[in-house]
Chain A
Amino acid sequence: MSDMVAARAAEIHKAQTDIRRAKVDRMFAVLLIVQWIASIIAAIVVSPYAWEGKEHVLHMHVWVAILGGAGITILPVLLAFLRPGTTLTRHVIAASQMLASALLIHLTGGRIETHFHVFGSLAFLAFYLDWQVIITATVVVAADHFLRGIYWPESVYGVSNPEWWRFLEHAGWVAFEDVFLIWSCIFGQREMASAATRQASIEYLSEQEQLKTAALEMALAEMSATA
């Protein structure tokens, strides 16, 4: 009995997880498109033109928002609709979401307030209830800070000669949030598994009751026929 229930519970758990993750994929596809549009608007509002005296040309940031934003968005959106619910899709979405954060931070002139986008994005990624996705996003953020810290420190730390370990400090704050998000992903999966087991048990008991009822009705029918 327990094997049958466990197998059915695993089946229910997987189906519900797949449905949830496919929904989150589509949610992120919409979010990434909205962020792309928002980044173009931000670029147009904050720095529409680069000037040379009385002449002006479209600012580099507007081009980066249009073309760079499109480049970042196109793959995760495509995967969300063509390969929803797969492991690859959600990891690409996680990396793209972090790149979208980096783009927005840059377009707003490195405003410290825009850095909150990273933390908000990590919380959204936890909707997948897959702790590995949080790790992917964190690695992208840490790698971005590490590499820019070496080659372009002013753009990320605001000083030209930061300590080599400064990226660890930034990544540390992300890890601080990660601890709780990873715990919530694991806890959420356990709750879903528990609910699936309950559903499988109810289904099993209901099935057993139906079999008993059918056997009883058959026995009654035989007794009536012999009487």
Chain B
Amino acid sequence: MRTRSVIVTASIIVAAAIWVGTVGAAARAIRRFEATPGREASAPKSWPAESSLVRNHDAPTLVMLVHPQCSCTRASLLELQAVIEKSPRVMRTYVVVYRPRQMKAGWEKTDIYDAATRLRGTHVVVDEDGREAKRFGTFTSGQTFLYDAGGTLRFEGGITMLRGHAGLNSGRADVIHIANGESGKGTHPVFGCSIVSRGERR
């Protein structure tokens, strides 16, 4: 009877230690994962001439490059919707969806792709093997560029506050300001999955 009592008490103490440890460890792990930005883009300061995307010569052009399987990118598209709603209707918007060559047909047709097609006036372009991503020097899903009517890069970065977290943030606000002809910081960290495979060099 006494042995059972000792075993029960010991089990409870071990479980209590795990319980306390878990709270701290899980919070730290999530925090590190979500607050660590992806690799910054090295975008051309002027619209890349070799791009197959057509720039708007009368109004800003916004380009967002996404990984269709990256769950964090859902938040980027939610933010993009807010940007589109508050930007001039003449702004041209592209969502460029990464698709590696060796993946089977339809790999890119995810809920993220569908969400992009539902955005007002947005052109959704499948990016075979990340060619456009290379032209725009992009490494991270959710990377957004805003070029003005003259083709000059005015904003580069992400428009979410954390990885997978939608909500008011300075990146989104900056893009809206610049698209409406106001001044802005022009950069913001980007949070999302990598568009580049491990070991792939650019």
Interface residues of A (CB under 8 A from B): 46-56, 59-61, 63-64, 67-68, 70-72, 74-75, 78-79, 82-83, 92, 96, 99, 103, 106, 109-110, 151-152, 154-155, 158-160
Q: Contacts A154-B161, A154-B162 known; A55 to B11 CB distance under 8 Å? A: no
Identify the closest chain A residue to B72 (Cβ). Answer: A47
CA A61 to CA B167, docked complex, whole Å: 19
Whether the pair A74, B74 counts as a contact (CB closer than 8 A) is no
Task: Give the chain A neighbours of B100 by CB distance below 8 A.
Answer: 53-54
CA A96 to CA B166, docked complex, whole Å: 27
Q: Nearest-CB distance from B199 to chain A (Å)?
A: 9
Q: Contacts A60-B30, A109-B164 known; A75 to B8 CB distance under 8 Å? A: no
A interface footprint on B38-80 (CB within 8 Å = 1, 0 otherwise): 0000000000000000000000000000010111101100000
Identify the closest chain B residue to A65 (Cβ). Answer: B26
One of B86-94, B143-151, B174-182, B190-198 at the interface: B190-198
CA A54 to CA B15, docked complex, whole Å: 40
Q: Contacts A72-B22, A154-B165 known; A52 to B193 CB distance under 8 Å? A: yes
CA A175 to CA B162, docked complex, whole Å: 29
Beyond the given A51-B141, A79-B12, A154-B169, please list 16 additional residue pairs across the A-B interface where CB-CB is below 8 A.
A50-B193, A51-B67, A51-B69, A53-B196, A71-B22, A71-B23, A72-B23, A74-B19, A75-B15, A78-B15, A109-B75, A110-B165, A151-B31, A155-B162, A158-B166, A159-B167
B170 at the interface (CB under 8 A from A): yes
Q: Nearest-CB distance from A161 to chain B (Å)?
A: 10
B16 at the interface (CB under 8 A from A): yes
Whether the pair B198, A55 counts as a contact (CB closer than 8 A) is yes
Q: Nearest-CB distance from B111 to chain A (Å)?
A: 10
Q: Nearest-CB distance from B141 to chain A (Å)?
A: 8
Q: Contacts A51-B67, A51-B70 known; A109 to B165 CB distance under 8 Å? A: yes
Whether the pair B198, A71 counts as a contact (CB closer than 8 A) is no
Task: Give the chain B neighbours of A50 by CB distance below 8 A.
Answer: 70, 193
CB-contact partner of B11 in A70, A82, A158, under 8 A: A82
Whether the pair B194, A155 counts as a contact (CB closer than 8 A) is no
Query: Which 4 pairs of residues, A with B, have the shortest CB-CB distance?
Result: A71-B22, A53-B197, A158-B167, A47-B71
Considering residues A47, A48, A71, A92, which has the most beta carbons from chain B within 10 angstroms of its beta carbon? A71
Whether the pair A52, B168 counts as a contact (CB closer than 8 A) is no
Query: Can you give 11 contacting A-B residue pairs, CB < 8 Å?
Result: A51-B141, A52-B196, A53-B196, A64-B30, A71-B19, A71-B22, A72-B22, A99-B23, A155-B31, A158-B165, A159-B167
Task: Give the chain A neighbours of B33 by CB distance below 8 A.
Answer: 60
CA A223 to CA B71, docked complex, whole Å: 94
Q: Nearest-CB distance from A15 to chain B (Å)?
A: 23
Q: Nearest-CB distance from B95 to chain A (Å)?
A: 17
CA A61 to CA B18, docked complex, whole Å: 19
CB-contact partner of A52 in B11, B102, B197, under 8 A: B197
CA A47 to CA B200, docked complex, whole Å: 24
CA A109 to CA B12, docked complex, whole Å: 32
Whether the pair A60, B29 counts as a contact (CB closer than 8 A) is yes
Q: Nearest-CB distance from B8 to chain A (Å)?
A: 5
Identify the closest chain A residue to B170 (Cβ). Answer: A160
Whether the pair B12, A64 counts as a contact (CB closer than 8 A) is no
CA A47 to CA B192, docked complex, whole Å: 12
Task: Give the chain A neighbours of B15 by CB distance below 8 A.
Answer: 74-75, 78-79
Task: Give the chain B neighbours of A106 by CB distance below 8 A.
Answer: 30
Q: Nearest-CB distance from A210 to chain B (Å)?
A: 39
CB-contact partner of A78 in B11, B141, B165, B197, under 8 A: B11
Q: Nearest-CB distance from B178 to chain A (Å)?
A: 19
B106 at the interface (CB under 8 A from A): no
